[in-house]
Structure 1
Amino acid sequence: MDNVYMNRELSWLKFNERVLEEAENKEVPLCERLSFASIYQTNLDEFFMVRVGSLQDQSLLGKKIKDNKTNMTAKEQIEEILRRVHILNERRDKVYEELMSRLKEWGFSLTDFRSMEKSESEYMERYFAMEIEPLISPTVVGKRQPFPFLRNKEIYAVAVLETKSKKQRIGIIPCTNSMVERLIAVPDRSGTYMLAEELILHYMPRVFKGYQIRAKSLIRVTRNADIDADALYDEDLDYREFMADLIKKRKKLSPVRLELSREMDGDIVGILCKYLDLEEARVFRQSTPLDLSFSSKIQDMLRKNPELFFEKRTPQKSSSFEDGRGIIEQIRESDKMLSYPYESIRPFLRMLNEAAEDENVISIKMTLYRLAKQSKVVEALVEAAENGKEVVVLVELRARFDEENNIEWSRRLEEAGCQVIYGLEGYKVHSKLCLITRKNEGKIEYITQIGTGNYNEKTSRLYTDLSLMTADPDIGMEASAVFQALSKGETVESSGHLLVAPKCLQSRVLEMMDEEIRQAKEGQPAYIGLKLNSLTDKKIIDKLIEASEAGVKIDMVIRGICCLVPQVEGKTENIRVISIVGRFLEHSRIYIFGCGERARYYIASADFMTRNTVRRVEVAAPVQQQNLKERLQAMFDLMLRDNQKARHETADGSYLFVRIEDPDTVKVNSQEYFYEEAYEKAGQM
């Protein structure tokens, strides 16, 4: 059955290819295309740091671990990854060149010294001498000066230096400096700039006087970031301080990739690779700048041209809530569900603020994974603690690349009197769970919020997510049991309404799939609908294949990795997979089992990846109120009809844009539709 499986890493590259397609898409506004090119690059950085880093560790340790779906070894996976990345990067270079050419029409351009007048070159030399040269720290590698440590993802100018006696040395200058403007304006040429690293590279002869420059290039090293906190943790250490030290160690891990901005002689590349202990196969030469983060500054300069950007959209007031009444009061009357970014996160924040001030509230408990830099969520929790409420917060310090932010927030929460828990040994806590406990007329009542995305005001404007708020006592008691287990360093052993990983999610999902298989075998309508970021869990994949073979109709909206190949005759022909990559990052998770009156609906923090289903604490919540069930189904159905940003996966594993065969077919961009709907509903208030 190998032809129904796809390797996880190669599937992820297909996802990043879809991101690159948005940069190539001429129907996307110009500055937004530049954003997609930048996202492609930052995605690839993280992929090399985490996934290639993990495969490199496996390979170096001599582990004969094979991918459980395709039987590829770590070495085979790395080889295929490198081959495909070279192909994708050629497309990236081509589209970057096109975008820069188009930007000239709007008054922005990047230049080099070949295009400069003498007076401009003289200005640039003076600028370099006054503004940059005093701040740089050049190194000549030799017996007394070892090859310097190259920081992860920072840019360096490297030159082959030749002495008068024909001996060769390596000269290196760091180019990443917060004191140096990245975009340097060329005088008397409005909108024309030069990248600081190109200026430094050009004036290397001035820095390394007495040497002949035989070759030079900008370089950038990507380092392994795959480090197992639990495997290294010593119980005698303070966990927060241990994590802070671990972050420092991660910055010094071994290189997994070297990028060059210029062609260099093979011998020189070999020398660099020897210093970095890196295989030459990991070297990538590119014409695109090594770091596209300056694209945000270009956008700022061109913001006055609205046609270069997506139409401005603002999260709208949810029609589920009435003005002039308390949020908690309204949740007690009926379940509520917010859909980001179309609806504002404000009702949730108001709920927290009300709880902080409500004399009937005894406690607020939350799991925090990724937070905004200026977090209103933390402000509300701090206020609650200062008002004498019991505030228990699980801050997951192992949220990759957000550890430093979370460490700082955990300190602030502790200082305010909150009880802070730092996760569980062996399990990341990825659930999005908030529990408010009230005592009303002598009775305990719960307000529970379960979400698909982080408590982050910034990403709530950029990611599609769902947030369910309910006063259901059964869900409240189960949420309370989750927090009790977390406080004791344990996991939930059983649950009735909530699906709680690591022990009560995968098994329950498989049971519900088995029920659909049984229905199909009895000749009854059977259905599974899933919206996920990724699908890699082999047990679930195999059950989906079994369900397809039994005749269960299966629709899946999967943004990223999908290790199951649909539409394979006799095996997965009843499975349809689409991926929506558009203006907003699709992040919500929806599970649907059954059809008609039998249909059960859940929203969840968990993708169907083994790391989520059995190695993390995750929570899926049932959506029980009829109007909310209908809303979820309508949303899911509309995404399946998307014919603008959706790609469907074919039986050979490729992704093709959903084509409109009939010219009379209405164009459907699901994300734009949901925003129009939110504006319309808000206008009816």
Structure 2
Amino acid sequence: MTPFAPQVNDFQHSSNTYINREISLLEFHKRVLAQSKDSNHPLLERLNFLIIFSRNLDEFFEIRVAGLMKQLDLNAITTAPDAIPNEVVIEQISDIAHEAVDDQYNTLNNILLPQLQSYGVRFIQYHDISEHHKEWIKNYFFKQVQPVVTPISLDPAHPFPRLVNKSLNFIVTLEGKDAFGRHIDLAIVPAPRSLPRVVRLPDELTNGQEHYILLSAIIQQHIDDLFPGMSATGCYQFRVTRNADLTLAEDIDDLAVALKDELSSRRFGRAVRLEIAHDCPDFINDYLLEQFDLDPIHLFQVKGPVNLARLFANFDIPELRFKPYQPIVPKALRNPHQIFDVLSKRDVLLHHPFDSFAPVINLLKEAAYDPNVLAIKQTLYRSGPDSEIVQVLAEAARNGKEVTAIIELRARFDEESNITVANILQEAGAVVVYGIVGYKTHAKMILIVRREGEKLKRYVHLGTGNYHAGNAKMYTDYGLLTTNPDICEDVHKIFQELTGMGRMAKLKKLFHAPFTLHAQLLQFIEHEIQHAQAGKPARIIIKVNALTEPKLIAALYHASQSGVKIDLIIRSICCLRPQVEGLSENITVRSIVGRFLEHTRVYYFHNAGDIKLYCASADWMGRNLFSRVETCFPIEDKKLRKQIIEDGLLSYLKDNTRAWELDNNDQWHALQAAEGEESYIAQQHLMDERIITPTA
């Protein structure tokens, strides 16, 4: 045990030293929303950021707020390091979220939609319907909508229905009697999920411009036609968000079967948020809150569609998008048939999306058809049944290769897709393993075994991101292709660990969670402390998606107090408070929010000049370090190490346009180039660098 370990264990966090993780995550979502107001982005990209914010906020309520409300329902005392009571956190979240949602709809209604209209693109809501639209809307309603709509009256025989998570619904106030002579005051109209949320109007009504009408407007226009003989005095759209987290017992017999059973409950979990039209009367708001067992702080009245995530996907104007970027295939890998020869001689580093994901797929394709390849092993966290990688693995199995796939069925919101992937591979003859119950397999590894002469040689790919070609075009990630014998042996042992029941593998080069990674990170930090105390240069640069693990934060505070310079590039959650005198004045925290989602995990320790540089699948979070199988791999080739330091770390520390900095009052500030200073965008620099000087 290092001398620092007792100090880390004894460090007591409070709200002064530990930022609440839920609030920090919500602040990240606000940074995404801020991009929708940035006029330097093309117009449709700004709209896309607004939609991403909606999706992020949906998941935030489905998982994070739902978890807090569950603890509150159970009267559980918070165990969070900040020690802020759950009810206080929920109130703070409500205040921040309401302000952000108001900002979102103000941006949509007063900035983005008017600007879209100047390009001939218009979205027609109920209050926008004009006379010359009405006949077409009428025909569409009776032919396409009415046959599949099921109005539900609310009376003793028709209690309030169970409504699906995030579904679009209408609550209707009525006057008059129904066919049976009953006075019905209220009804619910669920919008059919099978119908598109926006419909393009024909050119003859729009002079060829792109005009769309919202499904909600069509239903509202003809709401009376759903209740013959009665009058609708009001019609208000609403949407309920529910707890979508899954809970699986540790003693299950079959993970796939248990997961299928649990998935069905996700649609009807406990309500956590109610979104409703801003003009809905108070008595309707109160009625719905009562039905969903929600307090008023969970009510969001919005001036526009209650579900933005399903809108605005039916059109595209190229000049309003980012200029297309074609990822570069490194010169050494442009002939896929030579990939084994190339990797036998040198390691290759891929930096997505600046470098193409094609070499990873090509490696698997070559392995699938190469008669000398005997076995392929791969972890799959998010890939999708239509993924080319899944199809290649299935083909390799059909070709007689020993294919083993470690599929993490519990990758959140991809559970059903991953069950389908498992079935595809099993039917092709692959061995499918679901990982370890209680530990998500989050590591990104490929191992290929090839006979070369009288020996067997291993080829490995290790990555920071998922094996998902779509994500590789939008997320920044690193991938290392290597035949380093020690690394290959380590990967082999981790696969054995995942498929067998043996002891913890002893590795030579890699660190892995939940076994050695956390302790090793603490040791690396301690070494920097010792160097600083000895008067030597000491520096740490960490680039991860999130930093929440209390002991690592305590260790970084101690390193700062010892004089270690620490730069943290954290995309989303950061529970460490920087720039606090006497605690963290040597720590800076920044977040990059740009065209691509920052996803790389890179750990840099100066180590008195003998630099230690690692890439990893793990963020610095408790779940990654103690509840997941993760890999952390060294970058030992000097050229590749220099490339990561310059492109993946220093370049991002230089960014003065897409970077945000965290101050000691928990406030994030968008950076701007100073007067006379040239604007520098790290992601743009990496794209330009490859276009001007193609990767060797």
TM-score (norm. length: structure 2): 0.93
Aligned to 2:240: 221
Residue identity opposite 1:335 in structure 2:
D
Q: 1:615 to 1:352 in 2, by over 3 A?
A: same
Find the partner of 1:422 among 434, 456, 477.
434
Residue identity opposite 2:73 in structure 1:
L
CA distance in 2, matches of 1:239, 1:66: 29
Question: Are the aligned partners of 1:24 and 1:95 in contact in 2 as well (CA < 8 Å)?
Answer: yes
Q: Deviations over 1:461-489 (max 9, x none)?
A: 11001000110111111111101111125
Aligned to 2:4: none
Q: 1:150 to 1:322 in 2, by over 3 A?
A: closer
CA distance in 2, matches of 1:369, 1:491: 24
Provide the aligned C-alpha RMSD in A. Answer: 1.9
How far did residue 89 of structure 1 move?
A: 0.8
Of 447-456 and 111-120, more deviation after overlay is shown by 111-120
Of 477-486 and 285-294, more deviation after overlay is shown by 285-294
CA distance in 1, matches of 2:500, 2:139: 64
Of 652-661 and 544-553, more deviation after overlay is shown by 652-661
**Residue 298 of structure 2 corresponds to residue 282 of structure 1:** yes
How far did residue 167 of structure 1 move?
A: 5.5
CA distance in 1, matches of 2:314, 2:331: 37
Unaligned runs of 5+ in 2: 1-13
Aligned to 2:188: 172
Unaligned runs of 5+ in 1: none
CA distance in 1, matches of 2:313, 2:192: 16
Of 314-323 and 520-529, more deviation after overlay is shown by 314-323
Question: Are the aligned partners of 1:494 and 1:504 in contact in 2 as well (CA < 8 Å)?
Answer: no
Residue identity opposite 1:169 in structure 2:
D
How far did residue 130 of structure 1 move?
A: 2.5
Aligned to 1:4: 17
Residue identity opposite 2:113 in structure 1:
M
**Residue 188 of structure 2 corresponds to residue 188 of structure 1:** no
Aligned to 1:538: 550
Q: Deviations over 1:169-223 (max 9, x none)?
A: 3211111432456224165223332201122123222212333434321001111
- Classify the secondary structure of the residue corresponding to 2:693: helix
Percent of residue pairs identical: 34
Find the partner of 1:642 among 655, 665, 668.
655
CA distance in 2, matches of 1:119, 1:469: 61
Residue identity opposite 1:202 in structure 2:
Q
Aligned to 1:25: 38
Residue identity opposite 2:486 in structure 1:
D
Query: Residues 16-415 of structure 1: matches in 2 within 5 Å?
Result: 16-68=29-81, 70-97=82-109, 98-163=111-176, 169-180=185-196, 182-185=198-201, 188-189=205-206, 190-231=209-250, 234-235=252-253, 238-300=254-316, 302-303=317-318, 306=319, 308-321=320-333, 323=335, 326-415=338-427
CA distance in 2, matches of 1:573, 1:214: 61
Q: Deviations over 1:281-313 (max 9, x none)?
A: 21100113222235543542x33xx1x111111
Find the partner of 2:639 among 607, 627, 630.
627
Question: Are the aligned partners of 1:530 and 1:557 in contact in 2 as well (CA < 8 Å)?
Answer: yes
How far did residue 116 of structure 1 move?
A: 4.1
Find the partner of 1:556 among 544, 550, 568.
568
Question: Are the aligned partners of 1:216 and 1:262 in contact in 2 as well (CA < 8 Å)?
Answer: no
Residue identity opposite 2:48 in structure 1:
S
Question: Are the aligned partners of 1:113 and 1:121 in contact in 2 as well (CA < 8 Å)?
Answer: no
CA distance in 2, matches of 1:459, 1:267: 45
Query: Residues 643-662 of structure 1: matches in 2 within 5 Å?
Result: 643-662=656-675
Question: Are the aligned partners of 2:604 and 2:613 in contact in 1 as well (CA < 8 Å)?
Answer: yes
Q: 1:319 to 1:668 in 2, by over 3 A?
A: farther
Of 288-297 and 127-136, more deviation after overlay is shown by 288-297
- Classify the secondary structure of the residue corresponding to 1:297: coil
Q: 1:409 to 1:298 in 2, by over 3 A?
A: closer
How far did residue 369 of structure 1 move?
A: 0.2
CA distance in 1, matches of 2:618, 2:101: 31
How far did residue 123 of structure 1 move?
A: 3.1
CA distance in 1, matches of 2:160, 2:503: 48
- Classify the secondary structure of the residue corresponding to 1:46: helix
Query: Residues 483-632 of structure 1: matches in 2 within 5 Å?
Result: 483-489=495-501, 492=504, 494-594=506-606, 597-632=609-644
CA distance in 1, matches of 2:687, 2:638: 23
CA distance in 2, matches of 1:192, 1:152: 29
Question: Are the aligned partners of 1:153 and 1:220 in contact in 2 as well (CA < 8 Å)?
Answer: yes
CA distance in 2, matches of 1:142, 1:621: 63
Question: Are the aligned partners of 1:183 and 1:196 in contact in 2 as well (CA < 8 Å)?
Answer: yes
How far did residue 648 of structure 1 move?
A: 1.0
Residue identity opposite 1:606 in structure 2:
A
Question: Are the aligned partners of 1:450 and 1:468 in contact in 2 as well (CA < 8 Å)?
Answer: yes
- Classify the secondary structure of the residue corresponding to 2:604: strand
How far did residue 93 of structure 1 move?
A: 1.0
CA distance in 2, matches of 1:102, 1:322: 43
Question: Are the aligned partners of 1:345 and 1:457 in contact in 2 as well (CA < 8 Å)?
Answer: yes
CA distance in 2, matches of 1:602, 1:418: 32
Residue identity opposite 2:252 in structure 1:
D
CA distance in 2, matches of 1:431, 1:612: 10
Residue identity opposite 2:554 in structure 1:
D
CA distance in 2, matches of 1:259, 1:195: 17
CA distance in 2, matches of 1:400, 1:113: 36
Q: Deviations over 1:115-151 (max 9, x none)?
A: 4443432332232222211221110011111211111
Of 619-628 and 114-123, more deviation after overlay is shown by 114-123
Of 526-535 and 375-384, more deviation after overlay is shown by 375-384
Question: Are the aligned partners of 1:152 and 1:251 in contact in 2 as well (CA < 8 Å)?
Answer: yes
Q: Deviations over 1:394-436 (max 9, x none)?
A: 0000001001111011001011111100110110000001111
Q: Deviations over 1:339-389 (max 9, x none)?
A: 100111111111111222233322111110000452111122122212222
How far did residue 506 of structure 1 move?
A: 0.5
Question: Are the aligned partners of 2:19 and 2:576 in contact in 1 as well (CA < 8 Å)?
Answer: yes
Residue identity opposite 2:283 in structure 1:
D
- Classify the secondary structure of the residue corresponding to 2:395: helix
CA distance in 1, matches of 2:597, 2:39: 20
